[in-house]
């Protein structure tokens, strides 16, 4: 079986984020660390488990992003994937998800895959769109927020459980080839092994540049980015740890929460 897993590099959730002077986009603090999107880690783990179950399965990793994104492809290979492609974009700025999906759909590894796995969303932009749009570009059936994956013995279908609100799940059978977006909680992604990492670091990844791929004009853009509106006038407690603790006790006690 041929699997394609799409992964994205995101900044650490505690990264210092500032708004650029023209309020057009954000800048991530220079010293901030980057890592693989957690949803995508779960997608890679799902793929590696399928490979363990069906020997002969080949896992290809695809990432779209600036030069630094290459490290997440190597990490996914370290987790047990076979090969990877990097579509290099200029750093920064917003790209319409339909254009991202269009770029990804041009790859032979996408159109030839039996199963494509994506994260349900990225932790930074939280759009949840690239997966379903890629499915649409390739005319594949798609299921999102997947919490359980089972390849049927015939190898022609995949049965999944989608998470819906209120503790319910939907059981869906999709004909292969298909695309799934993976929800966190489906598994605990493994750490890369040393031997796999050594192999990943030696591997020459397929690289192509986004500006060399034909794309239609974007359908959406960013007017501005701002700091969010405060829903409550939060009071920041000042002083030492002990002083903050004492202030909090007074506040809670005044409101009879300690009684």
Question: Which parts of 69-128 interact with another protein (CB under 8 A)?
Answer: 94, 96-98, 101, 123-128
| Segment interacting with another protein, rule: CB under 8 A, options 61-69, 141-149, 194-202, 207-215 | 141-149
Residue 33 or residue 222: which is nearer to another protein going by CB?
222
Please give the C-alpha separations between residue 169 and each of 137, 145, 165, 251, in angstroms, as whole numbers. 27, 10, 8, 42
| Segment interacting with another protein, rule: CB under 8 A, options 78-86, 111-119, 164-172, 206-214 | 164-172
- Among 53, 175, 193, 201, indicate the residue that binds another protein (CB under 8 A): 175
For the CB of residue 125, give the shortest distance to another protein in the complex, in Å. 5
- Among 141, 197, 199, 213, indicate the residue that binds another protein (CB under 8 A): 141
> Residue 34 in 3-state DSSP?
strand
- Among 171, 193, 201, 207, indicate the residue that binds another protein (CB under 8 A): 171
Q: Is the dihedral of CA 134, 140, 146, 152 positive or negative?
A: negative
| DSSP assignment of 85-136 | EEEE--SSS---HHHHHHHHHTSHHHHT-SEEEEESS-TTT----HHHHHHH
User: Considering the rule CB under 8 A, would residue 33 count as an interface residue with another protein?
Assistant: no
Strands 34-36 and 9-11: antiparallel
User: Considering the rule CB under 8 A, would residue 31 count as an interface residue with another protein?
Assistant: no
User: Considering the rule CB under 8 A, would residue 164 count as an interface residue with another protein?
Assistant: yes
User: Considering the rule CB under 8 A, would residue 213 count as an interface residue with another protein?
Assistant: no
Cα distance between residue 57 and residue 100, in whole Å: 26
Residues in the chain: 259
For the CB of residue 204, give the shortest distance to another protein in the complex, in Å. 33
Residue 155 or residue 209: which is nearer to another protein going by CB?
155
* Residues within window 44-73 making contact with another protein, judged by CB under 8 A: none
Cα distance between residue 2 and residue 154, in whole Å: 15
- Among 84, 163, 196, 200, indicate the residue that binds another protein (CB under 8 A): 163
Cα distance between residue 103 and residue 222, in whole Å: 20
User: Considering the rule CB under 8 A, would residue 16 count as an interface residue with another protein?
Assistant: yes
Cα distance between residue 108 and residue 106, in whole Å: 7
Residue 45 or residue 196: which is nearer to another protein going by CB?
45
User: Considering the rule CB under 8 A, would residue 26 count as an interface residue with another protein?
Assistant: yes
User: Considering the rule CB under 8 A, would residue 169 count as an interface residue with another protein?
Assistant: yes
Phi, psi of 77 (to 5 degrees): -70, -35
For the CB of residue 55, give the shortest distance to another protein in the complex, in Å. 27
Determine how many CB atoms are found less than 10 A away from the CB of residue 11. Answer: 17
Tell me the number of residues near another protein by CB under 8 A: 84
């Amino acid at each position: 079986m041929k699997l394609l897993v799409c992964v994205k590099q995101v900044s650490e959730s505690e990264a210092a984020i500032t708004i650029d002077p023209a309020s057009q986009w954000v800048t991530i603090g220079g010293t901030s660390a980057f890592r693989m999107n957690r949803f995508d880690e779960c997608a890679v783990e799902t793929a590696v488990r399928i490979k363990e179950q069906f020997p002969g399965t080949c896992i290809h990793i695809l990432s779209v992003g600036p030069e630094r994104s290459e490290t997440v492809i190597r990490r996914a290979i370290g987790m047990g994937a076979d090969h990877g492609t990097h579509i290099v974009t200029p750093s920064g700025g917003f790209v319409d998800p339909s254009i991202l999906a269009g770029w990804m759909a041009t790859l032979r590894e996408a159109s030839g895959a039996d199963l494509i796995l994506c994260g349900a969303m990225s932790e930074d932009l939280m759009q949840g769109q690239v997966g379903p749009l890629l499915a649409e570009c390739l005319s594949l059936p798609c299921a999102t927020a997947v919490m359980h994956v089972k390849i049927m013995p015939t190898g022609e279908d995949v049965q999944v459980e989608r998470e819906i609100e209120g503790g319910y799940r939907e059981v869906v059978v999709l004909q292969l080839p298909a695309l799934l977006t993976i929800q966190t909680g489906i598994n605990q992604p493994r750490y890369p092994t040393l031997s796999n990492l050594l192999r990943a670091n030696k591997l020459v990844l397929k690289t192509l540049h986004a500006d060399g791929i034909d794309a239609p004009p974007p359908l959406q853009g960013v007017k501005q980015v701002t700091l969010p509106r405060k829903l409550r006038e939060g009071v920041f407690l000042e002083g030492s740890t002990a002083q903050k603790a004492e202030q909090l006790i007074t506040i809670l006690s005044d409101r009879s929460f300690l009684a």
